[in-house]
Structure 1
C-alpha cells in the first residue's frame, strides 16, 4: 500500500514556504519588532459619522433636567473624561460602523483662551482619542522654559516619560518653545493645570485632530484636547502653541508592554504617526485616519528569544545540509527516481529536509522556549489583527509557527505512554501514524478557528486601552489610556502569565485532539485496505539498517538497544507507514529515515554516531555482516551500502584540511608576534621548490597510506632519511662521518622492527587482502623522494624566518589541493560530525607545531642528521597509543624503539662532541 504522492513541484513549494516562514518570522522579530524604528505597518480607519449627535448627559443637557447645567470646572466624578468635551464643544457625533468608536466629530468648539475678549469658535473639529495623558503633559512641559514649568513637570509622570517608553529625549530648539507670557504659554499652562487636577489619570481622555473647515483634503494633527474624568473641564492646545504638533508627531497610539519574570524583562513599545484624509462619498463625509505604526522590543527576554531563534535556524540549516548529504535531496523530493529503481518517493520523507531535529531534547526545549517567548512578544500582532491592519497576514503566519509546539507536545505525550506500555505503543504505531505535514495542517486549521481567542486576549490584557460603556447609552467609547502600573518593577503576576498563555494551551490541546482523530481515521483506513499486512511497502524505504530480531513477538532490536530507546514504539510521528521491514531470512530491518530521526547516522570513518543536536552518545564501529544484509537478499539496500562506503576523505581533501588548520594557526602567531612574511629574492626560488616538493610529498604519501597497509606505506615513506644522507653529501656537500652513517642504517633497521612490513613479517593479519598495488608502492617511493627534496631545500633556507616558510608552504598546499579538487576530483566533502571536526582542528594544531619545529630543526642541523631524528615519529606514536588509547605494544615495537633511540642518542652525542 502506497501513500498519496505529492508532485515534486508541490514538495519543493512546501519546503521553500516552510523555510521562508522561519526566515520571515526571524526577520520580523529583528526589524519589524526590533529596537529600530522601521514603521513597517499601516493601520487605517475609514469612518463616516452619524446624522444624530451622541446623547448628552443630564448634567450638560438643558432639557428634561430638574437641575441647571453644571458650570465649567465643577467637581464631577465620572467613568472617563469623554463627557468633559462638552465643556468646549456643543455636540459630538460618533462614527457609524459598530458599537464602539474612538473618532468623533465635534461642532462649535470654543478653542480660544477663557478670558480672551473674543471667542474663537471652530465650527467642526475631527478628534481621534489616540493620545495618552502623560505624552501630552511631557510635550507641554518640553515647550515651556524651565523656570516657567508648573509642579506637574517635576513629577514622575513627566520626568520618567522617556525612560518609561524607552525613547530618546532630544533637546527642544529654543525657537520652538513658547515665549514667556504669550498665548501659547497660557495654552500650555492651562493644559498642564487640567492634567494636574485630574484623577484617576488613566481615565483622562486625550485626542488629536484637525479643523475640517476647509473641506475635503489631507490633514495633519494640529489640534489636541484632553477631558478630565473628575471635573467638568477640558483644555485644548495647538491653536497658539503650534510647535506642539511637531514634538508630538510620533506619539499617537503610544503604548508600552512590560513582562517581568524574576527580574528578566521583556518590553514592547508601540508608537504611530497619524495623517487624516477627509472626503465625500455618496453625500456623506468620510474621514480616513492613516497611522504608520512602529513596534520596538527590548529587554533580557527579547535577547534570549533572538539567541534561541538564531540557534534553531543554524541547527535546522545544518540538519537540512546533513540530510541532503546523507539521503540526497534529489531522491527525497523525487527528482532522481532512478535511485530507487524507478519509483518516486511517495512518502513524506522529503520533510526530513525541514526540521529533522524535532526529536532532539535540546531542540524541543529551545522550540518550546521560542514559542512561549514569541507568544509574549506577540502583542504587536494582536494590535495588528484587531485594528484591521494590512499586516494581518504576518499576524496569522506568526501564529501558525505554533505547529512545532503541537508536534513537540505530541511526541512528549506519546513518549510518556511508551514508558508506561512500550509493547502496546509499538502495536499502535504499527497500525497508524501521522506525518509532520499532517500535524501542521491540523494546527493550521485550529489556529484559523481560534485567531480571535489568540489575539483578543492578548490585546485586552495590558489594560492600556480604556473602554467606556456608560457615558453614551448604547455606544462604547474607546481611548488610549495611560496605565500607572507600568512604572512599577514588580514581577508579572502569575494570573497574568496564565491569562496570556491559556489561549496557547487551548490551541495546542485542540490541535492534539484533531491529530488523534486523524490517527484513528487512518488506522481504520489502513485496516480496511490491507487487514492481513503488518508492514506496508513504501518506496521511501530503500535504505535500512539491519538489526537482529523477529516480528512475531515484540522485543527491542539490537539497534534499538544500541540507541537506548525503542525507536519503533516511539514512531507515532514519522514519514511513512512502515517502521520495519522483514527480509526473506526472517531478519528485521529499521528504515534509515527512522533511526536518522532519533539522532543516529553513519560517519565517514564507518562509525555509527550521534547526529549533531542529540546526546544519546554512540561510538561504535559498524559490523557490515551484522548490520547490513547480503546484497543478493536486499537489492535496494545495495546503493546505500555503496554510498556509505564512499563517505571518506580523499587524499587531497585531507591535505586541504590539514594545511588549512596549520595555516590559520601560523598566521595567528604571525599577527600576534609581528613576524615578517617578506621573502628576499635569493630565497624565493628555493622556497617555491620547497612548497612544490612538500605538497608532492604529502600527496604521494597520503595516497600510499590510503591504498596500502599502513606498515608497508610507512616503511617506504621513511626510506627518505637514508636517501637524505646521500643527497646531502652529493648536493649540499655535507660531510657524513662513518659512525653517523652506520647509525642511520641501523636506525632504519629499528624502524622496520617497529612497523613490521608484510613483505618481511608476513601477511597473516586481517588486512592482508588490502595490501597495496605497485602503483601505491611507487607512490610511496615518490613521496620519500619528495621528502628528501623538502629536507634539502629547508636546509638551504637557513636565513629565512621559520614562520614565513610554514606560511607559504601551507598556503600553497591549500591552493594546490583546491585546484586538484576542482579540476580532477570535482567533489568536495564537508565534515558534519563532531569527531571529524575535532580531528581536523587537532591535526591543524599539531601540523603547525610539527612544521615549525621540523623546519627550525633542519635549519639548525645538517640535513642527514636531522632526518634521522624523524625516526622518533613512530616511537612517539606508539607511546601515545599505549598511554592515551591503551593499545597493546608488540615486542618488536619495543625492540625497534630501543634501536631508534640508541642510534638517535649516538648521533646527538657525536654532534655535541664534534
Structure 2
C-alpha cells in the first residue's frame, strides 16, 4: 500500500494512543492547519478506503467544464451503476467557485488521485476538525496519499460542502452476484461518529462509533422477496379448512412445488450471510453477535428437506428395505433442528470468514502487514475488473456456498448418527420386552399382522405413495397400528402427506386430501 508514507509526509507529529483494548488511534498535526485525524484499528484492522468514491464525489463537487481528465474515466463515470446509487442532484451552492480555495483543494485532491498509476494503492482517510473541545463529531475532513508520488492532499477545510457527499460513504462496498445477467447486490455504507472527552488526568479520550447500513437490490433479490411472500401465504392457508383452528396444521415439506420454492428461497437467502459476517466481525456488542449467529442457523430447513429427499430416494430404490429401517428407528424434526444448529455453530468461524475470502478473491478489501509493525491494516478498495463480469466466477460462488455445503453434509452425517444410536437403543429395549412375552407369543400360534411380509396398504395404493416407507422423520416409533386383525397407517403420518380424518358416522371415518 504505497499510499501510507505519502499520507504521513505532511504530518508534524504522529502520536499513537491506545484508547482501549481493541482500538488504536493516530493523531496527526498538519503543518497548515491543526486538524485531528483519526486512523482507527478495530482489533487489528483500520478504517480506510480507496479512491473510487473519492474520485466520483470530488468530481461532483466541481463545475463540469473545469473537471480534470480523471472525472471522465469509467471509475468515476460508472460509479452510480457500480454501487447502485441514484444520481445526485447537486445544488449550485455546493459547487466550488472558480479560483476559490475550495476549488484549489478539490483540484489538488483530484491531481493526487489522477497522477497515481496504480489506483488500487491510493489510500484515503477520513477525520474531523477538533475546534470545539470535547463533544461529538462527524467526519468533515478527508485525505488521500498517492501511490506513485510522494504526495498527499487534504480536503474539507475550505471545501466544506464535500461532507454532503462523503458523510455516509465510509467503507462503501458492493457484493454483486450475477447469474445469466440476473443480479443480487448488497451494498454497505457506514457513517462514522466520534466522541471526544477529557480524562481525569487531562488527556483526550476518543471513541469511534460506526453506523453500518446494508441495502439489497437486484432481480434475484426481488425473486427472493416474492418467493418468501408466496411461501408465507401457502403456509398460512395450507389447510383451507372451515375452522381456523386447523390452519397451519399440515407440513408442506412433502409438497414438491413448495420444496422447490423453499430450496430456492434459502439458497438465495444464504447471500444475506455477507452482512451478518460484517456485523459479527465488527461489532463489540454481544447482542449483535448473537443476532448474527441466530440468523445464520436458518439452514435447519434445508437440512430437513435434505433428509426427506435422501430418504425418499432410498424408498424409491428399495421400498421394502426403507420400510424395515423405518420400523426400527426414526428421527424427529426437533432433533434435526438441534443437529443442524450444533453443526452450524461448529462451523461458525468458517462461515464468518466468507467475507474475507470473497473480498480477497475480488480484491475489494486488502491487507497491509508491512507498513505498521505488529499490526494488520485492512483497507477498502474496488477492483474495476468486476465491472466486466457478467456471471459470477466459480471460485467466488464456492467461497460463499462452500460452507453451506459443508454444513449440510455434516448435518446429514449427524442425523445418520442419531438414527443409528436410536436404532440400537430401540433394539435393545424391544429385545428386553420380547423376552418377557415370548411364552405368550408361542401360545398364540399365529404370526402378528405387523410382522407379515411388507406390501402397500389400500390407502397407499390409492395415493400411489409409500407413506410408511417414506416416514423416517416423525415424532414416534410407531408407523402403523393393528385393529381387529387389520393393519392401519399411524394417524400421525396422515398430515405429512396431505390427509385428514373426518368422522362421518358413529363407527366410520373417511380420509380426504387437504385443500380438495
Provide TM-score, normalisation by structure 2: 0.87
Name the counterpart of 1:245.
Answer: 163
| Structure 1 residue 150: Cα displacement | 0.7
Q: Deviations over 1:91-141 (max 9, x none)?
A: 54557599997x64133223xxxxxxxxx2426422453444121112211
Q: Do the aligned partners of 1:225 and 1:237 also contact (CA within 8 Å) in 2?
A: yes
Q: Distance in 2 between matches of 1:598 and 1:282?
A: 71
Name the counterpart of 2:334.
Answer: 437
Residue of structure 1 aligned with 2:38, choices 120, 126, 144: 126
Q: Distance in 1 between matches of 2:21 and 2:138?
A: 27
Q: After the TM superposition, which residues 118-267 of structure 1 pair with which residues of structure 2 at under 5 Å, given as runs?
A: 120-122=32-34, 124-127=36-39, 129-212=47-130, 214-267=132-185
Tell me the secondary structure at the aligned position of residue 215 of structure 2: strand
| Structure 1 residue 214: Cα displacement | 5.0
| Structure 1 residue 248: Cα displacement | 1.6
Q: Do the aligned partners of 1:109 and 1:121 also contact (CA within 8 Å) in 2?
A: yes
Tell me the secondary structure at the aligned position of residue 468 of structure 2: helix
| Structure 1 residue 367: Cα displacement | 1.4
Name the counterpart of 2:277.
Answer: 382
| Structure 1 residue 476: Cα displacement | 0.6
Name the counterpart of 1:724.
Answer: none
1:479 aligns with 2:374: no
* Alignment RMSD (CA, Å): 3.0
1:84 aligns with 2:6: yes
Q: Do the aligned partners of 1:164 and 1:486 also contact (CA within 8 Å) in 2?
A: no
| Structure 1 residue 485: Cα displacement | 2.8
Shift of the 99–194 alpha-carbon distance from structure 1 to 2, 3 Å rule, reads farther
Name the counterpart of 1:297.
Answer: 216
| Structure 1 residue 832: Cα displacement | 6.3
Residue of structure 2 aligned with 1:600, choices 492, 499, 503: 499
| Structure 1 residue 553: Cα displacement | 1.9
1:508 aligns with 2:408: yes
Shift of the 97–579 alpha-carbon distance from structure 1 to 2, 3 Å rule, reads farther
| Structure 1 residue 80: Cα displacement | 4.0
Shift of the 97–554 alpha-carbon distance from structure 1 to 2, 3 Å rule, reads farther
Q: Do the aligned partners of 1:258 and 1:265 also contact (CA within 8 Å) in 2?
A: yes
Name the counterpart of 1:751.
Answer: none
Residue of structure 1 aligned with 2:354, choices 425, 450, 457: 457
Shift of the 286–517 alpha-carbon distance from structure 1 to 2, 3 Å rule, reads farther
Tell me the secondary structure at the aligned position of residue 252 of structure 2: coil
Shift of the 832–427 alpha-carbon distance from structure 1 to 2, 3 Å rule, reads closer
Name the counterpart of 2:487.
Answer: 588
Q: Distance in 1 between matches of 2:74 and 2:223?
A: 30
Q: Distance in 1 between matches of 2:21 and 2:395?
A: 30
Q: Distance in 1 between matches of 2:50 and 2:242?
A: 54
Deviates more, 1:234-243 or 1:558-567: 558-567
Q: Do the aligned partners of 1:551 and 1:588 also contact (CA within 8 Å) in 2?
A: no
In the alignment of these two chains, the number of paired residues is 491
1:403 aligns with 2:403: no
| Structure 1 residue 509: Cα displacement | 1.5
| Structure 1 residue 200: Cα displacement | 2.3
| Structure 1 residue 90: Cα displacement | 4.2
Name the counterpart of 1:565.
Answer: 465
Provide TM-score, normalisation by structure 1: 0.50
| Structure 1 residue 459: Cα displacement | 4.2
Q: Deviations over 1:408-437 (max 9, x none)?
A: 111111222223332222121111111111
Shift of the 324–495 alpha-carbon distance from structure 1 to 2, 3 Å rule, reads farther
Q: Do the aligned partners of 2:498 and 2:514 also contact (CA within 8 Å) in 1?
A: no
Residue of structure 1 aligned with 2:227, choices 286, 304, 308: 308
Q: Distance in 1 between matches of 2:346 and 2:16?
A: 32
Q: Distance in 2 between matches of 1:107 and 1:130?
A: 15
Q: Distance in 1 between matches of 2:407 and 2:243?
A: 33
Q: Do the aligned partners of 2:195 and 2:206 also contact (CA within 8 Å) in 1?
A: yes
Shift of the 210–314 alpha-carbon distance from structure 1 to 2, 3 Å rule, reads same
Q: Distance in 2 between matches of 1:388 and 1:125?
A: 22
Q: Distance in 2 between matches of 1:359 and 1:231?
A: 65
| Structure 1 residue 322: Cα displacement | 5.1
Tell me the secondary structure at the aligned position of residue 208 of structure 1: strand
| Structure 1 residue 477: Cα displacement | 0.9
Name the counterpart of 2:43.
Answer: none
Residue of structure 2 aligned with 1:494, choices 394, 413, 417: 394
Q: Distance in 2 between matches of 1:600 and 1:215?
A: 73
| Structure 1 residue 186: Cα displacement | 0.6
Q: After the TM superposition, which residues 603-752 of structure 1 pair with which residues of structure 2 at under 5 Å, given as runs?
A: 631=507, 641=509
Deviates more, 1:455-464 or 1:372-381: 455-464
Q: Distance in 1 between matches of 2:270 and 2:459?
A: 40
| Structure 1 residue 187: Cα displacement | 0.6
Q: Distance in 2 between matches of 1:176 and 1:123?
A: 22
Q: After the TM superposition, which residues 514-525 of structure 1 pair with which residues of structure 2 at under 5 Å, given as runs?
A: 514-525=414-425
| Structure 1 residue 488: Cα displacement | 2.1
| Structure 1 residue 383: Cα displacement | 1.3
| Structure 1 residue 169: Cα displacement | 2.0
| Structure 1 residue 504: Cα displacement | 0.2
Q: Deviations over 1:64-100 (max 9, x none)?
A: xxxxxxxxxxxxxxx3422222222145455759999
Tell me the secondary structure at the aligned position of residue 122 of structure 1: coil
Name the counterpart of 1:759.
Answer: none
Q: Distance in 1 between matches of 2:242 and 2:427?
A: 32
Q: After the TM superposition, which residues 53-72 of structure 1 pair with which residues of structure 2 at under 5 Å, given as runs?
A: none
Shift of the 109–145 alpha-carbon distance from structure 1 to 2, 3 Å rule, reads same
Shift of the 497–323 alpha-carbon distance from structure 1 to 2, 3 Å rule, reads farther
Q: After the TM superposition, which residues 725-804 of structure 1 pair with which residues of structure 2 at under 5 Å, given as runs?
A: none
Q: Unmatched 5+ residue regions in structure 1?
A: 1-78, 111-119, 330-351, 535-548, 607-623, 625-629, 632-637, 648-830, 835-914
Tell me the secondary structure at the aligned position of residue 570 of structure 1: coil
Q: Do the aligned partners of 1:403 and 1:439 also contact (CA within 8 Å) in 2?
A: yes
Q: Deviations over 1:586-640 (max 9, x none)?
A: 2111023313212334689x9xxxxxxxxxxxxxxxxx9xxxxx94xxxxxx7xx
**Which structure has greater strand proportion?**
2
Q: Deviations over 1:463-498 (max 9, x none)?
A: 322211122222111122122133224211112112
| Structure 1 residue 307: Cα displacement | 1.5
Shift of the 460–80 alpha-carbon distance from structure 1 to 2, 3 Å rule, reads farther
Shift of the 148–492 alpha-carbon distance from structure 1 to 2, 3 Å rule, reads same
Q: Do the aligned partners of 1:425 and 1:569 also contact (CA within 8 Å) in 2?
A: yes
Residue of structure 1 aligned with 2:197, choices 252, 274, 279: 279
Q: Do the aligned partners of 2:35 and 2:128 also contact (CA within 8 Å) in 1?
A: no
Q: Do the aligned partners of 1:383 and 1:459 also contact (CA within 8 Å) in 2?
A: no
